[in-house]
Structure 1
Amino acid sequence: MTEHLTIVNHPLVQHKLSIMRNRETSTKSFRQLLREISLLLAYEVTRELPMTTKTVDTPLEPMDAPVLDGKKLALISILRAGNGLLDGVLELIPAARVGFVGLYRDERTLQPIQYYFKVPEDLGDRLVIALDPMLATGNSSAAAVDLLKEAGANNIRFMCLLAAPEGVARMKEAHPDVPIVTAALDSRLNEKGYIVPGLGDAGDRMFGTK
Protein backbone atom coordinates (compact mmCIF):
# COMPACT_ATOMS: atom_id res chain seq x y z
CA MET A 1 0.00 0.00 0.00
CA THR A 2 1.26 3.45 -0.90
CA GLU A 3 -0.22 6.91 -0.68
CA HIS A 4 -1.20 6.63 -4.34
CA LEU A 5 -2.49 3.03 -4.28
CA THR A 6 -4.67 1.27 -1.69
CA ILE A 7 -5.30 -2.47 -2.04
CA VAL A 8 -8.34 -3.61 -0.07
CA ASN A 9 -7.29 -6.95 1.40
CA HIS A 10 -10.53 -7.59 3.29
CA PRO A 11 -11.27 -11.35 3.31
CA LEU A 12 -14.75 -10.90 1.83
CA VAL A 13 -13.36 -8.80 -1.02
CA GLN A 14 -10.67 -11.34 -1.83
CA HIS A 15 -13.04 -14.31 -1.61
CA LYS A 16 -15.62 -12.74 -3.91
CA LEU A 17 -12.92 -11.65 -6.35
CA SER A 18 -11.60 -15.22 -6.57
CA ILE A 19 -15.07 -16.44 -7.56
CA MET A 20 -15.28 -13.71 -10.21
CA ARG A 21 -11.93 -14.76 -11.68
CA ASN A 22 -13.26 -18.27 -12.33
CA ARG A 23 -14.17 -18.60 -16.01
CA GLU A 24 -17.11 -20.86 -15.06
CA THR A 25 -18.83 -18.16 -12.97
CA SER A 26 -22.12 -17.20 -14.62
CA THR A 27 -23.02 -13.72 -15.86
CA LYS A 28 -25.67 -13.44 -13.15
CA SER A 29 -23.21 -14.36 -10.38
CA PHE A 30 -20.48 -12.15 -11.82
CA ARG A 31 -22.80 -9.14 -11.86
CA GLN A 32 -24.00 -9.78 -8.30
CA LEU A 33 -20.47 -10.26 -6.98
CA LEU A 34 -19.29 -7.05 -8.65
CA ARG A 35 -22.14 -5.21 -6.97
CA GLU A 36 -21.22 -6.69 -3.58
CA ILE A 37 -17.51 -5.92 -3.93
CA SER A 38 -18.26 -2.35 -5.00
CA LEU A 39 -20.02 -1.77 -1.69
CA LEU A 40 -16.97 -2.98 0.21
CA LEU A 41 -14.56 -0.92 -1.91
CA ALA A 42 -16.79 2.13 -1.45
CA TYR A 43 -16.24 1.98 2.30
CA GLU A 44 -12.52 2.45 1.69
CA VAL A 45 -12.72 5.10 -1.04
CA THR A 46 -15.03 7.25 1.14
CA ARG A 47 -13.07 6.75 4.36
CA GLU A 48 -11.93 10.38 4.71
CA LEU A 49 -15.02 12.31 3.69
CA PRO A 50 -15.31 15.73 5.38
CA MET A 51 -17.62 15.78 8.40
CA THR A 52 -19.52 18.35 10.41
CA THR A 53 -22.22 18.14 13.08
CA LYS A 54 -25.91 18.97 13.30
CA THR A 55 -28.32 18.91 16.20
CA VAL A 56 -30.44 15.76 16.31
CA ASP A 57 -33.25 15.03 18.78
CA THR A 58 -32.80 11.45 19.95
CA PRO A 59 -35.60 9.78 21.92
CA LEU A 60 -33.70 10.80 25.08
CA GLU A 61 -32.14 14.21 24.41
CA PRO A 62 -30.69 16.49 21.72
CA MET A 63 -27.10 15.90 20.60
CA ASP A 64 -24.59 17.26 18.11
CA ALA A 65 -24.36 14.32 15.72
CA PRO A 66 -21.74 13.78 12.98
CA VAL A 67 -22.97 14.17 9.39
CA LEU A 68 -21.30 14.56 5.99
CA ASP A 69 -20.21 18.07 5.11
CA GLY A 70 -20.28 19.91 1.79
CA LYS A 71 -22.02 19.15 -1.49
CA LYS A 72 -23.07 15.64 -2.36
CA LEU A 73 -20.27 13.69 -3.98
CA ALA A 74 -20.23 12.73 -7.66
CA LEU A 75 -19.90 9.19 -8.95
CA ILE A 76 -18.57 8.98 -12.50
CA SER A 77 -19.01 5.71 -14.38
CA ILE A 78 -16.48 5.08 -17.12
CA LEU A 79 -18.69 3.27 -19.62
CA ARG A 80 -19.65 0.65 -20.01
CA ALA A 81 -18.15 -1.59 -17.34
CA GLY A 82 -18.13 1.21 -14.76
CA ASN A 83 -21.88 0.76 -14.41
CA GLY A 84 -21.28 -2.51 -12.56
CA LEU A 85 -19.46 -0.65 -9.79
CA LEU A 86 -21.88 2.27 -9.92
CA ASP A 87 -24.89 0.18 -8.92
CA GLY A 88 -23.25 -1.00 -5.72
CA VAL A 89 -21.85 2.36 -4.68
CA LEU A 90 -25.25 3.98 -5.20
CA GLU A 91 -26.73 1.53 -2.70
CA LEU A 92 -24.32 2.91 -0.12
CA ILE A 93 -24.59 6.57 -1.20
CA PRO A 94 -28.03 6.90 -2.84
CA ALA A 95 -27.98 10.72 -2.80
CA ALA A 96 -24.78 10.98 -4.85
CA ARG A 97 -24.81 12.79 -8.19
CA VAL A 98 -23.98 10.57 -11.17
CA GLY A 99 -22.08 11.21 -14.39
CA PHE A 100 -20.85 9.14 -17.32
CA VAL A 101 -17.72 9.15 -19.45
CA GLY A 102 -17.92 7.08 -22.63
CA LEU A 103 -14.57 5.77 -23.83
CA TYR A 104 -13.67 2.74 -25.88
CA ARG A 105 -10.23 1.33 -26.51
CA ASP A 106 -8.88 1.11 -30.04
CA GLU A 107 -7.76 -2.53 -30.08
CA ARG A 108 -4.91 -1.73 -32.46
CA THR A 109 -3.37 1.28 -30.71
CA LEU A 110 -4.81 0.61 -27.20
CA GLN A 111 -5.62 4.34 -27.05
CA PRO A 112 -8.98 5.63 -25.74
CA ILE A 113 -11.57 7.22 -28.01
CA GLN A 114 -14.28 9.39 -26.44
CA TYR A 115 -17.93 9.04 -27.51
CA TYR A 116 -19.92 10.40 -24.54
CA PHE A 117 -19.47 12.83 -21.63
CA LYS A 118 -22.20 13.96 -19.22
CA VAL A 119 -21.36 14.92 -15.64
CA PRO A 120 -22.98 16.83 -12.74
CA GLU A 121 -22.51 20.57 -12.28
CA ASP A 122 -20.08 22.11 -9.78
CA LEU A 123 -17.54 19.27 -9.88
CA GLY A 124 -15.03 21.62 -8.30
CA ASP A 125 -17.12 21.64 -5.11
CA ARG A 126 -17.55 17.88 -4.91
CA LEU A 127 -15.51 14.79 -4.17
CA VAL A 128 -15.49 12.93 -7.51
CA ILE A 129 -15.12 9.14 -7.57
CA ALA A 130 -14.31 7.67 -10.99
CA LEU A 131 -15.42 4.05 -11.41
CA ASP A 132 -14.00 1.45 -13.79
CA PRO A 133 -13.49 -2.23 -12.89
CA MET A 134 -10.23 -2.64 -14.82
CA LEU A 135 -7.16 -0.40 -14.63
CA ALA A 136 -5.16 -2.05 -17.43
CA THR A 137 -2.98 0.19 -19.62
CA GLY A 138 -4.27 3.22 -17.74
CA ASN A 139 -4.79 5.14 -20.98
CA SER A 140 -8.60 5.27 -20.75
CA SER A 141 -8.52 6.01 -17.04
CA ALA A 142 -6.03 8.84 -17.48
CA ALA A 143 -8.10 10.24 -20.37
CA ALA A 144 -11.27 10.10 -18.27
CA VAL A 145 -9.58 11.97 -15.42
CA ASP A 146 -8.30 14.54 -17.95
CA LEU A 147 -11.91 15.16 -18.98
CA LEU A 148 -13.09 15.42 -15.38
CA LYS A 149 -10.38 17.94 -14.55
CA GLU A 150 -11.28 19.95 -17.64
CA ALA A 151 -14.87 20.00 -16.30
CA GLY A 152 -13.61 21.51 -13.03
CA ALA A 153 -13.00 18.51 -10.77
CA ASN A 154 -10.08 18.98 -8.38
CA ASN A 155 -10.69 16.28 -5.76
CA ILE A 156 -10.81 12.94 -7.59
CA ARG A 157 -10.43 9.34 -6.45
CA PHE A 158 -10.31 6.31 -8.74
CA MET A 159 -11.96 3.03 -7.75
CA CYS A 160 -11.40 -0.21 -9.65
CA LEU A 161 -11.70 -3.95 -9.12
CA LEU A 162 -8.36 -4.97 -10.64
CA ALA A 163 -5.22 -3.05 -11.53
CA ALA A 164 -2.08 -3.86 -13.49
CA PRO A 165 1.29 -2.34 -12.54
CA GLU A 166 1.43 -0.64 -15.95
CA GLY A 167 -1.91 1.07 -15.35
CA VAL A 168 -0.99 2.20 -11.86
CA ALA A 169 2.27 3.67 -13.18
CA ARG A 170 0.47 5.43 -16.03
CA MET A 171 -2.06 6.97 -13.67
CA LYS A 172 0.62 8.02 -11.20
CA GLU A 173 2.54 9.71 -14.01
CA ALA A 174 -0.50 11.47 -15.48
CA HIS A 175 -2.43 12.17 -12.27
CA PRO A 176 -0.30 11.82 -9.14
CA ASP A 177 -3.00 13.66 -7.17
CA VAL A 178 -5.62 10.95 -7.80
CA PRO A 179 -5.54 8.08 -5.24
CA ILE A 180 -6.44 4.60 -6.51
CA VAL A 181 -8.45 2.07 -4.52
CA THR A 182 -8.53 -1.51 -5.86
CA ALA A 183 -9.17 -5.07 -4.73
CA ALA A 184 -6.00 -6.49 -6.30
CA LEU A 185 -2.81 -5.57 -8.13
CA ASP A 186 -2.21 -8.32 -10.70
CA SER A 187 1.10 -9.25 -12.26
CA ARG A 188 1.14 -7.69 -15.75
CA LEU A 189 -0.58 -6.96 -19.06
CA ASN A 190 -0.48 -9.37 -21.97
CA GLU A 191 0.28 -8.38 -25.57
CA LYS A 192 -3.39 -7.43 -26.10
CA GLY A 193 -3.45 -5.11 -23.10
CA TYR A 194 -5.49 -7.42 -20.85
CA ILE A 195 -4.70 -7.84 -17.15
CA VAL A 196 -3.05 -11.18 -16.29
CA PRO A 197 -4.17 -13.35 -14.54
CA GLY A 198 -7.17 -11.01 -14.42
CA LEU A 199 -10.72 -12.15 -15.06
CA GLY A 200 -11.19 -11.48 -18.77
CA ASP A 201 -13.20 -8.56 -20.14
CA ALA A 202 -15.29 -7.22 -17.24
CA GLY A 203 -17.90 -5.65 -19.51
CA ASP A 204 -18.41 -8.82 -21.54
CA ARG A 205 -18.67 -10.96 -18.43
CA MET A 206 -21.02 -8.52 -16.72
CA PHE A 207 -23.39 -8.08 -19.66
CA GLY A 208 -23.03 -11.54 -21.23
CA THR A 209 -21.78 -10.18 -24.54
CA LYS A 210 -18.86 -12.52 -25.04
Structure 2
Amino acid sequence: MTAPTVPPIEKYLGTSLHLLPQTAQLRALHTVIRDRDAPREDFVRYARRVIRMLIEAGMDLLPFEPCEVRTPTGAAYQGLRFASGLCGVTVVRAGESMEGELRDVCPGIRIGKILIQRDETTKEARLYYTALPADIARRHVLLLDPVMATGGTALSALKVLRDLGVPEENIVFVNFITVPEGVAAVCERYPRVRIVTSAVEERLNEDAWMLPGIGDFGDRWFGTDA
Protein backbone atom coordinates (compact mmCIF):
# COMPACT_ATOMS: atom_id res chain seq x y z
CA MET A 1 0.00 0.00 0.00
CA THR A 2 1.32 3.45 -0.94
CA ALA A 3 1.88 5.71 2.05
CA PRO A 4 -0.38 8.78 2.09
CA THR A 5 1.19 12.06 1.00
CA VAL A 6 1.87 14.40 3.90
CA PRO A 7 1.52 18.06 2.87
CA PRO A 8 4.48 20.37 3.59
CA ILE A 9 3.85 23.08 6.18
CA GLU A 10 6.95 25.25 5.79
CA LYS A 11 5.10 27.86 3.73
CA TYR A 12 2.68 28.48 6.62
CA LEU A 13 5.27 28.83 9.41
CA GLY A 14 5.52 32.34 10.80
CA THR A 15 2.47 33.58 8.92
CA SER A 16 -0.60 31.40 9.42
CA LEU A 17 1.14 28.87 11.69
CA HIS A 18 2.96 29.88 14.89
CA LEU A 19 4.80 27.00 16.56
CA LEU A 20 6.01 27.38 20.13
CA PRO A 21 9.82 27.34 20.40
CA GLN A 22 10.77 23.67 20.55
CA THR A 23 12.83 23.93 23.73
CA ALA A 24 14.10 21.14 25.95
CA GLN A 25 11.54 22.21 28.57
CA LEU A 26 8.64 21.85 26.13
CA ARG A 27 9.91 18.46 25.00
CA ALA A 28 10.13 17.32 28.63
CA LEU A 29 6.53 18.43 29.23
CA HIS A 30 5.37 16.61 26.11
CA THR A 31 7.19 13.47 27.25
CA VAL A 32 4.98 13.25 30.33
CA ILE A 33 1.80 14.24 28.47
CA ARG A 34 2.31 11.67 25.71
CA ASP A 35 3.11 8.79 28.07
CA ARG A 36 0.11 6.44 27.98
CA ASP A 37 0.93 5.33 31.54
CA ALA A 38 1.04 8.87 32.96
CA PRO A 39 -1.39 9.33 35.89
CA ARG A 40 -4.25 11.70 35.07
CA GLU A 41 -3.05 14.26 37.61
CA ASP A 42 0.34 14.42 35.86
CA PHE A 43 -1.29 14.67 32.44
CA VAL A 44 -3.44 17.59 33.57
CA ARG A 45 -0.65 19.34 35.48
CA TYR A 46 1.84 19.29 32.61
CA ALA A 47 -0.76 19.96 29.94
CA ARG A 48 -1.83 23.08 31.85
CA ARG A 49 1.73 24.38 31.71
CA VAL A 50 1.80 24.01 27.93
CA ILE A 51 -1.69 25.52 27.59
CA ARG A 52 -0.50 28.59 29.51
CA MET A 53 2.37 28.98 27.05
CA LEU A 54 -0.07 28.70 24.15
CA ILE A 55 -2.49 31.25 25.61
CA GLU A 56 0.35 33.71 26.17
CA ALA A 57 1.61 33.19 22.61
CA GLY A 58 -1.91 33.64 21.25
CA MET A 59 -2.40 36.85 23.21
CA ASP A 60 0.80 38.21 21.72
CA LEU A 61 -0.83 38.07 18.27
CA LEU A 62 -3.71 40.31 19.35
CA PRO A 63 -3.74 44.10 18.91
CA PHE A 64 -2.42 46.43 21.61
CA GLU A 65 -2.88 50.15 22.13
CA PRO A 66 -0.62 52.74 23.82
CA CYS A 67 -1.09 53.23 27.56
CA GLU A 68 0.89 55.65 29.73
CA VAL A 69 1.22 54.98 33.46
CA ARG A 70 3.12 56.59 36.32
CA THR A 71 5.71 54.46 38.09
CA PRO A 72 6.32 54.59 41.88
CA THR A 73 9.10 57.11 41.20
CA GLY A 74 6.61 59.45 39.53
CA ALA A 75 8.11 58.95 36.06
CA ALA A 76 6.00 58.20 33.00
CA TYR A 77 6.15 54.78 31.39
CA GLN A 78 4.98 54.48 27.80
CA GLY A 79 3.40 51.06 27.87
CA LEU A 80 0.76 49.00 26.10
CA ARG A 81 -2.57 47.46 26.98
CA PHE A 82 -4.76 44.95 25.19
CA ALA A 83 -7.21 46.52 22.79
CA SER A 84 -10.83 46.10 23.86
CA GLY A 85 -13.18 43.50 22.47
CA LEU A 86 -11.55 40.15 23.21
CA CYS A 87 -13.45 36.90 23.78
CA GLY A 88 -12.69 33.21 23.96
CA VAL A 89 -14.62 30.47 22.16
CA THR A 90 -14.15 26.86 23.21
CA VAL A 91 -14.98 23.80 21.15
CA VAL A 92 -16.89 21.56 23.56
CA ARG A 93 -15.74 19.50 25.31
CA ALA A 94 -11.98 19.13 24.93
CA GLY A 95 -11.60 22.87 24.38
CA GLU A 96 -12.99 23.48 27.87
CA SER A 97 -9.72 22.13 29.25
CA MET A 98 -8.13 25.40 28.10
CA GLU A 99 -10.61 27.77 29.74
CA GLY A 100 -8.94 27.87 33.16
CA GLU A 101 -5.64 29.16 31.81
CA LEU A 102 -7.43 31.73 29.65
CA ARG A 103 -9.39 33.01 32.65
CA ASP A 104 -6.18 33.23 34.71
CA VAL A 105 -4.59 35.39 32.02
CA CYS A 106 -7.76 37.41 31.26
CA PRO A 107 -10.06 37.47 34.31
CA GLY A 108 -13.66 38.23 33.40
CA ILE A 109 -13.23 37.39 29.72
CA ARG A 110 -16.39 36.30 27.90
CA ILE A 111 -16.26 32.71 26.66
CA GLY A 112 -18.59 31.32 24.02
CA LYS A 113 -19.23 27.66 23.18
CA ILE A 114 -19.43 25.64 19.98
CA LEU A 115 -20.38 21.96 20.09
CA ILE A 116 -19.11 19.96 17.13
CA GLN A 117 -18.81 16.18 17.13
CA ARG A 118 -17.04 13.94 14.63
CA ASP A 119 -18.93 10.95 13.29
CA GLU A 120 -16.79 7.94 14.19
CA THR A 121 -17.74 6.17 10.96
CA THR A 122 -17.61 8.92 8.35
CA LYS A 123 -15.08 11.11 10.27
CA GLU A 124 -17.22 14.13 9.27
CA ALA A 125 -17.72 16.97 11.76
CA ARG A 126 -21.30 17.94 12.64
CA LEU A 127 -22.40 21.17 14.35
CA TYR A 128 -24.88 20.69 17.23
CA TYR A 129 -24.89 23.84 19.37
CA THR A 130 -23.55 27.39 19.68
CA ALA A 131 -23.69 29.98 22.47
CA LEU A 132 -21.70 33.08 21.55
CA PRO A 133 -21.60 36.78 22.50
CA ALA A 134 -24.15 38.76 20.48
CA ASP A 135 -21.44 41.24 19.40
CA ILE A 136 -18.87 38.62 18.44
CA ALA A 137 -18.48 40.11 14.94
CA ARG A 138 -16.81 43.14 16.56
CA ARG A 139 -14.48 41.12 18.76
CA HIS A 140 -11.09 39.47 18.50
CA VAL A 141 -11.55 35.76 19.13
CA LEU A 142 -9.29 33.18 20.72
CA LEU A 143 -10.69 29.88 19.45
CA LEU A 144 -9.66 27.05 21.78
CA ASP A 145 -9.44 23.38 20.84
CA PRO A 146 -6.49 21.18 21.86
CA VAL A 147 -6.42 18.73 18.95
CA MET A 148 -6.59 19.39 15.21
CA ALA A 149 -6.30 16.19 13.16
CA THR A 150 -8.06 16.27 9.78
CA GLY A 151 -9.07 19.88 10.39
CA GLY A 152 -12.78 19.12 10.00
CA THR A 153 -13.80 20.36 13.45
CA ALA A 154 -11.66 23.48 13.16
CA LEU A 155 -13.11 24.27 9.74
CA SER A 156 -16.66 23.88 11.09
CA ALA A 157 -15.94 26.14 14.06
CA LEU A 158 -14.28 28.75 11.86
CA LYS A 159 -17.24 28.69 9.48
CA VAL A 160 -19.57 29.45 12.41
CA LEU A 161 -17.46 32.47 13.35
CA ARG A 162 -17.12 33.69 9.77
CA ASP A 163 -20.86 33.31 9.12
CA LEU A 164 -21.45 35.56 12.14
CA GLY A 165 -19.21 38.22 10.63
CA VAL A 166 -15.92 37.69 12.52
CA PRO A 167 -13.08 38.71 10.16
CA GLU A 168 -10.48 35.99 9.56
CA GLU A 169 -7.68 38.23 10.76
CA ASN A 170 -9.50 38.67 14.10
CA ILE A 171 -9.31 34.93 14.89
CA VAL A 172 -6.42 33.22 16.65
CA PHE A 173 -6.83 29.44 16.89
CA VAL A 174 -5.06 28.16 20.01
CA ASN A 175 -4.30 24.49 19.52
CA PHE A 176 -2.27 22.04 21.62
CA ILE A 177 -1.25 19.55 18.92
CA THR A 178 -1.84 19.11 15.20
CA VAL A 179 -0.61 17.40 12.01
CA PRO A 180 0.35 18.69 8.55
CA GLU A 181 -2.96 17.46 7.10
CA GLY A 182 -4.97 19.63 9.49
CA VAL A 183 -2.66 22.63 9.13
CA ALA A 184 -2.92 22.56 5.34
CA ALA A 185 -6.71 22.16 5.38
CA VAL A 186 -7.25 25.18 7.64
CA CYS A 187 -4.55 27.44 6.21
CA GLU A 188 -5.70 26.91 2.64
CA ARG A 189 -9.34 27.65 3.50
CA TYR A 190 -8.72 30.48 5.99
CA PRO A 191 -5.25 31.91 5.23
CA ARG A 192 -5.61 34.96 7.51
CA VAL A 193 -6.50 32.95 10.61
CA ARG A 194 -3.46 32.51 12.86
CA ILE A 195 -2.85 29.08 14.43
CA VAL A 196 -0.76 28.73 17.60
CA THR A 197 0.31 25.19 18.49
CA SER A 198 2.93 23.39 20.57
CA ALA A 199 3.56 20.42 18.26
CA VAL A 200 3.08 19.32 14.66
CA GLU A 201 2.99 15.53 14.44
CA GLU A 202 4.31 13.34 11.62
CA ARG A 203 1.02 12.38 9.99
CA LEU A 204 -2.40 10.77 10.40
CA ASN A 205 -2.86 7.01 10.29
CA GLU A 206 -5.64 5.23 8.38
CA ASP A 207 -8.04 5.82 11.30
CA ALA A 208 -7.29 9.58 11.40
CA TRP A 209 -5.25 9.31 14.63
CA MET A 210 -2.08 11.36 14.93
CA LEU A 211 1.32 9.69 14.92
CA PRO A 212 3.09 9.56 17.33
CA GLY A 213 0.12 11.29 18.95
CA ILE A 214 -1.34 12.03 22.33
CA GLY A 215 -4.51 9.93 22.45
CA ASP A 216 -7.96 11.39 23.14
CA PHE A 217 -7.10 14.66 24.87
CA GLY A 218 -10.59 15.25 26.29
CA ASP A 219 -10.93 11.75 27.72
CA ARG A 220 -7.51 11.88 29.31
CA TRP A 221 -8.12 15.38 30.74
CA PHE A 222 -11.56 14.64 32.19
CA GLY A 223 -10.76 11.07 33.24
CA THR A 224 -13.26 9.35 30.95
CA ASP A 225 -10.79 7.21 29.02
CA ALA A 226 -11.17 3.44 29.26
1:114 to 115, 118, 127: 127
Matched residue, 1:6:
18
CA distance in 2, matches of 1:125, 1:174: 22
Q: Secondary structure at the match of 1:184?
A: coil
In structure 2, runs of 5+ residues without a counterpart are: 1-12
Farther-moved stretch of structure 1 (115-124 vs 188-197): 115-124
Provide the residue aligned with 1:171 in structure 2: 186
Match of 1:202?
217
When normalised by structure 1's length, the TM-score is 0.92
RMSD after superposition: 1.6
State the partner residue of 1:158.
Answer: 173
In the alignment, structure 1 residue 99 sits paired with structure 2 residue 112 = yes
Matched, 1:192 2:202: no
The residue that corresponds to 1:34 in the other structure is 47
Shift of the alpha carbon at 1:182?
Answer: 0.7
Identical aligned residues as a percent? 31
1:14 maps to a residue whose letter is: R
Change (3 A) 1:152 1:111: same
| Structure-2 separation of matches of 1:49 and 1:159 | 12
**Structure 1: how far apart are the matches of 2:24 and 2:108?**
28
Most deviating of 177-186 and 114-123: 114-123
User: Which of the numbers 49, 52, 57 marks the counterpart of 1:44?
Assistant: 57
- 1:64 Cα deviation after fit: 4.8
Report the Cα offset of residue 41 of structure 1.
1.1
Matching residue within 133, 139, 146 for 2:152? 139
Give the stretch that moved more between structures: 42-51 or 17-26.
Answer: 42-51
Deviation at 1:10, TM superposition (A): 3.7
Q: Which amino acid aligns with 1:133?
A: P
Deviation at 1:130, TM superposition (A): 0.8
Post-superposition shift, 1:62?
5.2
* TM-score under structure 2 length normalisation: 0.86
Q: Is the 8 A contact 2:71 2:77 kept in 1?
A: no
Does the 8 Å contact 1:53/1:64 carry over to 2?
no
Q: Name segments (4+ residues, structure 1) moved above 6 Å.
A: none
Q: CA deviation at 1:113?
A: 1.3
Kindly indicate whether residue 85 of structure 2 is the aligned counterpart of residue 68 of structure 1.
no
- Map of 2:162 onto structure 1: 149
Kept after mapping to 1: 8 A contact 2:67/2:81: no
